[in-house]
Amino acid sequence: MSENQQHTLMDKIISLSKQRGFIFQSSEIYGGLKSAYDYGPLGVELKRNIMNEWWRSMVHERENIIGIDASIIMHSKVWHASGHLAGFSDPLVDCLISKERFRADKAPQPKLGDELPILCMDKGQAKSFQEIIKKRFNVELKRNGKKLEGLKVISNDSFGFFTDDSNTPLETFQFKGYVSPTFGSPFLSEERQFNLMFRSQIGPVDVLNEISSFINKSEKINEKEIRSGIDEIIKKSAVYLRPETAQAMFVQFQNCQQSMSMKIPFGIAQMGKSFRNEITVEHFIFRSCEFEQMEMEFFVEPGTQKKWLEYWRDARMNWWQSLANNPNKFRYRPHEKDELAHYADACYDIEYEYPWGYDELEGVASRTDYDLKKHEEHSGSKLSYFDQQKQDPETGKNGWRYTPYVIEPAAGATRGLLVYLLDAYHEEKIPNSDGSESSRVVMKFHPKIAPIKTAVLPLVKKEGLPEIARDIVSKFFKAGINARYDEQHSIGKRYRRHDEAGTPYCITIDGQTKEDGTVTIRDRDSMKQERMNAENVVDIIQKKLSLS
Ligand code: ATP
């Protein structure tokens, strides 16, 4: 697709979203808030339908998955344990090899002449880090068991790569004066004073008072000291808007497992709002600061994670495709070793072909036992599972206590909504009765997610037709089907409007209805109209919806 076409399709979606009431710019009358969006009358239905379908397929249709709805604001220790809270006023750095994120000011600081061994978890990781370093920095470090060797600090701001028989470095790199705490890696990103989480304060204490008296009392302290003093004050009552829904499922693992007597393998699912102060917000609702996620943590026995990762990768892919017109636009992308977070042993992205190219829609990650272990370590609570039926592989005795491994399918609900808007958008030429052609825009949503399931349209606003139409609408309401009464404008305009809203069926009440009790049902996609008895219309639509 050319760049022009990409823009046009996104522009058309953005404009249709506003016109038809799917998505509006937040606070538009005040000039709009960048990267925040409001879901309008049709958007809220579409979003709920997508999320309800997800819930149905993940929770209601599976005996081994249970749901929770946790609070958005959690104890700040949760974010310490998960690693999200590495620092606010502190410089953050990422290790380019392991993806470990850490505070630069707390990192180990090797001295001039020190060797810089990279210390891996195991030999496999050593091999993979060796390959990543070779690919990105063009030096092949020597593997010595779990260690990678050959790097040494050669000045305050440089380190070199040496082989066994060389005294002068074969390659030099910029040294930041510190290495990553877990792996000792000197291959690091630039420092950033930034945290993706939105911070607020909880409780009755007025931090502004404390801060102003701290500044008032402080004499001759530099800017850095003021910053860290203020940070200490703020930290005491700081709370954060969750940047993902996942952590609550780890923190509530024990409560969920015990209250519902769940046996491994089992999952905990949650959907809801997440917040990230994204540096780059882009492509309409694709990346925004406030968005909705649909995540599930599936707890499995160590050693079975590969099988379950593949299972969930396929199950999730099938789900996205089952609601789409174009299943070919979805694909998997396995993560390269150098892309994997240091705690993950494998990951697939489910990608969609957006107008700008393939990009992420959902991540399905094998997260090992990292999350439960981290929360166990930070909280002091046991987050393990006891399987009476299994033998402990180490002792050979009956009964095995272990920390479960986790497979996490993490999807964006609002990103999914964008995908289904793009997938549904069709422009078609249609023949007029006089032989000429006109065009229509039709949103071919899967009926399960279509915002309005059926519109009931009296041909004219008189002669008793509105009363008959309203009576039919109330029958739909009783049957739990989202129907809409619509009498504004000519019938042709109303059909066009409901094509753009993606309403699968329009029911028209006309003069003949009064004579023989029949109505027409118009199919959105084929535009074919069938006449049938008004008495049966709710049953017929119900059947059509359940078959689709
Ligand atoms: P990306 O690489 O696109 O930033 P991520 O890998 O950080 O996403 P995860 O943390 O894995 O995302 O979150 C799971 C899903 O949540 C993503 O696949 C995406 O669909 C959705 N998501 C994440 N960040 C945003 C955002 N800022 N706006 C909308 N959806 C998002």
Task: Give the DSSP per-residue string, 1-46.
Answer: --HHHHHHHHHHHHHHHHHHTSEEETTGGGT--TT-EEE-HHHHHH
pLDDT, one tens digit per residue, over 106-138 is: 789 999 999 999 999 899 999 999 999 999 999
- Residue 103 Cα to ligand 1 midpoint, Å, equals 23
Q: Residue range 177-188: average pLDDT?
A: 94
- Mean pLDDT taken over the chain: 93
pLDDT, one tens digit per residue, over 23-36 is: 999 999 999 988 89
Q: Calculate the CA dihedral of residues 109, 114, 117, 118 and round it to 10 degrees.
A: 20
Helices 537-547 + 465-478 axis angle, to 10: 50
Pocket of ligand 1 (CB under 6 A): 244, 276, 278, 287-288, 291, 293, 360-363, 410-412, 414-415
Q: How far apart are CA 385 and CA 58, in angstroms?
A: 22
Q: How confident is the model at residue 343 (pLDDT cuts 50, 70, 90)?
A: confident
Does 414 have pLDDT greater than 60?
Answer: yes
Task: Tell how many helices (H) and how many strands (E) occur in the chain.
Answer: 15, 28
CB 184 within 8 A of CB 152: no
Helix (H) or strand (E) holding 419: helix 413-424
For the ranges 74-83, 225-234, 272-281, 363-372, which has the lowest average pLDDT? Answer: 272-281
For the ranges 179-183, 315-319, 520-524, which has the lowest average pLDDT? Answer: 179-183
Q: Which of 396, 469, 398, 69 is nearest to 242 (CA)?
A: 69
Q: Calculate the CA dihedral of residues 62, 423, 314, 282 and round it to 10 degrees.
A: -100
Does 278 have pLDDT greater than 90?
Answer: no
pLDDT, one tens digit per residue, over 159-172 is: 999 998 888 999 99
Partners of 36 in the β-ladder:
none
Neighbours of 260 (CB within 10 A): 11
Nearest CA to ligand 1 atom 4: 287
For residue 546, the model assigns a pLDDT of 81
Does 3 have pLDDT greater than 60?
Answer: no
- Residue 294 Cα to ligand 1 midpoint, Å, equals 11
* Tokens at 25, concatenated: 């710019």
Instruction: Give the position, in ligand 1's atom list, of the atom nearest the Cα of 410.
Output: 14
Place of tokens 């084929």: 526
Nearest CA to ligand 1 atom 6: 363
Does 183 have pLDDT greater than 80?
Answer: yes
Nearest CA to ligand 1 atom 8: 360
pLDDT more than 90, % of the chain: 81
Does 86 have pLDDT greater than 80?
Answer: no
pLDDT, one tens digit per residue, over 189-236 is: 988 766 789 999 999 888 999 999 988 888 888 877 888 899 889 989
Nearest CA to ligand 1 atom 20: 412
For residue 452, the model assigns a pLDDT of 98
Q: How confident is the model at residue 5 (pLDDT cuts 50, 70, 90)?
A: low
Partners of 359 in the β-ladder:
352
pTM for the predicted model, two decimal places: 0.83
pLDDT, one tens digit per residue, over 349-384 is: 999 999 999 999 999 999 999 999 999 999 999 999
The residue to mutate among 26, 285, 293, 362, having the most atoms of ligand 1 within 8 angstroms of its beta carbon, is 293
